Structure 1
Amino acid sequence: MTVMAQHTAQMSVEEFEELAAHVAKRFDAVRLEFINGRVGIKGMTDGNHSEVIRWLQECFLMAMAGTGLWLYGGGELGLRIEKYRKGRALPDAVLAPRGTFTGKGDWAETAGVVMTVEVTSYDADTHRRDREEKPAGYADAGIPFYLLIDRDDCSVTLYSDPAPGDGYRSTVKKAFGAKLSLPEPLGVELDTEELKQYVG
């Protein structure tokens, strides 16, 4: 991985997109991201990871009825993030108006995206990717909210008030089992008790 990171430091976004398309065609279980000038691998998720996304979709399904917003899940939706849209991320879920991504191709602009969601995986670069680089990249792109469901320390963190170049100015962190209120336009209270089942 170190050799790959050193080699790809000079990779252009166009070269990355070509590489990512090639990998996606050849390997079903592997997708690539390009964040902070580095190529990262987003592999298969475990069953508990999938259950966290299912839980979150259920939480939003009733609360978002009639709002026109939808929680897209599955980590298949690519977004152009970071300054000047030089990064490419595959969030675990994205909250946006229905139809936002129609005809957008593999890497969509973030216009209209209300929130991105990441669920930590048990791999070596989770800390750097999910807790440092992605919040900075999502804030640079002006995405109003970033929700991190952290299975390592059993917490949920809502990042808000993005300041491009400076990250998110506000964070609210709660332990699994607590309730986390997401402000308008989300207007959802997440009861995170169920998340205790999906650790490990």
Structure 2
Amino acid sequence: MRKIFQHSIRWVTIISVITAFLSMLFNGASTTFMRGLSWQGGLLVVLLIVLFGVFFDMLGIAATAARETPFHSMAAKKVSGAKHAIGIIRRADQFASFCNDVVGDISGIVSGAATVAVVGSLVLAMDLAESHWFLETLFVGLISALTVGGKAFGKAISIRYANDIILRLGKIFYILEKRFHIRMFTVKTRKKSKRKRGVFRAPR
């Protein structure tokens, strides 16, 4: 119990630091990038951020829904990415936490802030100062609906095709490791306990 608690505290600390860093990075990058864009271009950036969040949400759900057993036979047949897929599934809680809680939530926050900036640009371009509150409410509502709807649609796909998604992701990790020597994690083989045949314990 104590070991699990210490491991959880360590993971929470790491993920919190990563979240803070990525949040500042994404927010700064999106703000800087949108300064020179029209409101149409800014809206396109917002949609891309939403799709980015939905995509990572799908990966996190697929990791928790995928089954490990089929990948063992693939790994035995030397299918590229199978071992990496096993590694993802065994770390499904951490992987899903990063994809859903970190990237997904950051995307939602950044897309909301970017939407407000887009509305401000639209108001200035079209001289719609009197409709600012209405437009801001409308755009934020539409982006929120698109985000929730996209995640709901992505969740259905992720659950149905979880193994296929994780295998493709495993192949990407395999390429990163083989070509660029970037190892995401090491998959350890679980040892099975063997009983000696012909040895019986006397009943107590």
Q: Could you say which TM-score interval applies, normalised by the shorter chain? A: under 0.3
TM-score (norm 2): 0.24
Q: Please state which structure has a larger fraction of its residues in helix.
A: 2
Query: TM-score, with normalisation over the residues of structure 1?
Result: 0.24
